Amino acid sequence: MATAAEQWVLVEMVQALYEEKEELIEEWQPEPLVPPVSGDHPALNYNVVSGPPSHNIVVNGKKCVNFASFNFLGLLDDPRVKAAALVSLRKYGVGTCGPRGFYGTFDVHLDLEDRLAKFMQTEEAIIYSYGFATIASAIPAYSKRGDIVFVDRAACFAIQKGLQASRSDIQLFKHNDMADLERLLKEQEIEDQKNPRKARVTRRFIVVEGLYMNTGTICPLPELVKLKYKYKARIFLEESLSFGVLGEHGRGVTEHFGISIDDIDLISANMENSLASIGGFCCGRSFVIDHQRLSGQGYCFSASLPPLLAAAAIEALNIMEENPGIFSVLREKCKRIHKALQGISGLKVVGESFSPAFHLQLQESTGSREDDVKLLQEIVNHCMDRSIALTQARYLEKEEKCLPPPSIRVVVTVEQTDEELERAARTIKEVAQAVLL
Amino acid sequence: MANPGGGAVCNGNLHNHRKQSDSLQSGNCTKNGIVKEAQQNGKPHFYDKPIVESFEEAPLHVMVFTYLGYGLGTLFGYFRDFLRNCGIEKCNAAVEREEQKDFVPLYQNFENFYTRNLYMRIRDNWNRPICSAPSALFDVMERVSDDYNWTFRFTGRIIKDVINMGSYNFLGLAASYDESMKTVKDVLEQYGLGVASTRHEMGSLDKHKELENLVAEFLNVEAAMVFGMGFATNSMNIPALVGKGCLILSDELNHASLVLGARLSGATIRIFKHNNMQSLEKLLRDAVIYGQPRIRRAWKKILILVEGIYSMEGSIVNLPQIVALKKKYKAYLYIDEAHSIGSVGPTGRGVVEFFGLDPRDVDVFMGTFTKSFGASGGYIAGRKDLVDYLRVHSHSAAYATSMSPPIAEQIIRSMKFIMGLDGTTQGLQRVRQLAKNTRYFRQRLNEMGFIIYGNEESPVVPLLLYMPAKVAAFARHLLNRKIGVVVVGFPATPLAEARARFCVSAAHTREMLDTVLENLDEMGDLLQLKYSRHKKSARPELYDETSFELDD
B92 interface with A at CB cutoff 8 Å: no
Q: Would you state the pLDDT for residue B35?
A: 34
Contacts of A127 in chain B (CB under 8 A): none
Residue B18 has pLDDT above 50, yes or no: no
Q: Would you state the pLDDT for residue B4?
A: 41
Are B52-164+426-532 and B179-419 the same fold in CATH? no
The whole-number average pLDDT for the span A350-371 is 88
Contacts of A285 in chain B (CB under 8 A): 94, 97
A96: nearest CA partner in chain B: B134
Q: Would you state the pLDDT for residue B535?
A: 60
Dump pLDDT digits (tens) for A369-394: 888 888 898 999 999 999 999 998 88
Q: Would you state the pLDDT for residue B21?
A: 37
The whole-number average pLDDT for the span A279-308 is 92
Q: Would you state the pLDDT for residue B302?
A: 94
CB–CB contact A278 B131 (8 Å)? no
Dump pLDDT digits (tens) for A76-86: 889 999 999 99
Contacts of A298 in chain B (CB under 8 A): 229, 231-232
Q: Would you state the pLDDT for residue B49?
A: 63
Superfamily (CATH H level) for B52-164+426-532: Aspartate Aminotransferase, domain 1 (3.90.1150.10)
Residue A125 has pLDDT above 80, yes or no: yes
State the Cα angle at B18 between B13 and B23, rounded to 5°. 130
CB–CB contact A130 B407 (8 Å)? no
Contacts of A202 in chain B (CB under 8 A): 104
Q: Would you state the pLDDT for residue B31?
A: 38
Taking the CA of residue A24 and the nearest CA in chain B, the distance in Å comes to 6
Whole-prediction pTM: 0.89
Q: Would you state the pLDDT for residue A282?
A: 95
The whole-number average pLDDT for the span B267-273 is 94
CB–CB contact B184 A57 (8 Å)? no
Q: Would you state the pLDDT for residue A24?
A: 83
Residue A142 has pLDDT above 70, yes or no: yes
Structural contact between residues B255 and B336, judged by C-beta atoms closer than 8 angstroms: yes
B332 interface with A at CB cutoff 8 Å: yes
CB–CB contact B138 A103 (8 Å)? yes
Dump pLDDT digits (tens) for A8-38: 777 777 777 888 888 888 888 888 888 888 7
Contacts of A396 in chain B (CB under 8 A): 393, 395, 398-399
Structural contact between residues B469 and B489, judged by C-beta atoms closer than 8 angstroms: no
Candidates A334, A287, A391; CA nearest to A59 is: A391
Residue A276 has pLDDT above 90, yes or no: no
Dump pLDDT digits (tens) for A189-223: 999 999 989 888 899 999 999 999 999 999 999 99
Dump pLDDT digits (tens) for A84-98: 999 999 999 998 999
CB–CB contact A394 B141 (8 Å)? no
Average pLDDT, chain B: 84
Taking the CA of residue B8 and the nearest CA in chain A, the distance in Å comes to 36
For residue A270, how many other CB atoms are within 10 A of its CB?
28
Distance CA B184, CA A50 (A): 17
A198: nearest CA partner in chain B: B104
CB–CB contact B374 A95 (8 Å)? yes
B200 interface with A at CB cutoff 8 Å: yes
CB–CB contact A156 B399 (8 Å)? yes
Structural contact between residues A97 and B370, judged by C-beta atoms closer than 8 angstroms: yes
B505: nearest CA partner in chain A: A97
Task: Give the pLDDT band of residue B121 (cuts 50, 70, 90).
Answer: confident
Q: Would you state the pLDDT for residue B537?
A: 53
Q: Would you state the pLDDT for residue A23?
A: 85
Average pLDDT, chain A: 90
Q: Would you state the pLDDT for residue B46?
A: 47
Distance CA B367, CA B338 (A): 5
Taking the CA of residue B403 and the nearest CA in chain A, the distance in Å comes to 8
For residue B244, how many other CB atoms are within 10 A of its CB?
9
Contacts of B410 in chain A (CB under 8 A): 94-95
Contacts of B119 in chain A (CB under 8 A): 294
Dump pLDDT digits (tens) for B306-344: 999 998 889 999 999 999 999 999 999 999 999 999 999
CB–CB contact A103 B130 (8 Å)? yes
Contacts of A297 in chain B (CB under 8 A): 231, 256-257, 260
CB–CB contact B166 A98 (8 Å)? yes
Contacts of B205 in chain A (CB under 8 A): 48-51, 53
CB–CB contact A36 B385 (8 Å)? yes
CA distances from residue B425 to B171, B421, B429, B431, B551 in whole angstroms, order as listed: 14, 9, 6, 10, 11
Residue B17 has pLDDT above 90, yes or no: no
Q: Would you state the pLDDT for residue B68?
A: 92
Task: Give the pLDDT band of residue A5 (cuts 50, 70, 90).
Answer: confident
The whole-number average pLDDT for the span B338-365 is 92
Distance CA B257, CA A312 (A): 28
pLDDT, greater one: B225 or A364: B225
Q: Which of residues 480-539 of B touch A (CB under 8 A)?
A: 484, 486
CB–CB contact A86 B185 (8 Å)? yes
Q: Would you state the pLDDT for residue A254?
A: 93
Task: Give the pLDDT band of residue A165 (cuts 50, 70, 90).
Answer: very high
Q: Where are the domains of chain B?
A: 52-164+426-532, 179-419
- Assigned CATH for B179-419: 3.40.640.10
Contacts of B175 in chain A (CB under 8 A): 93
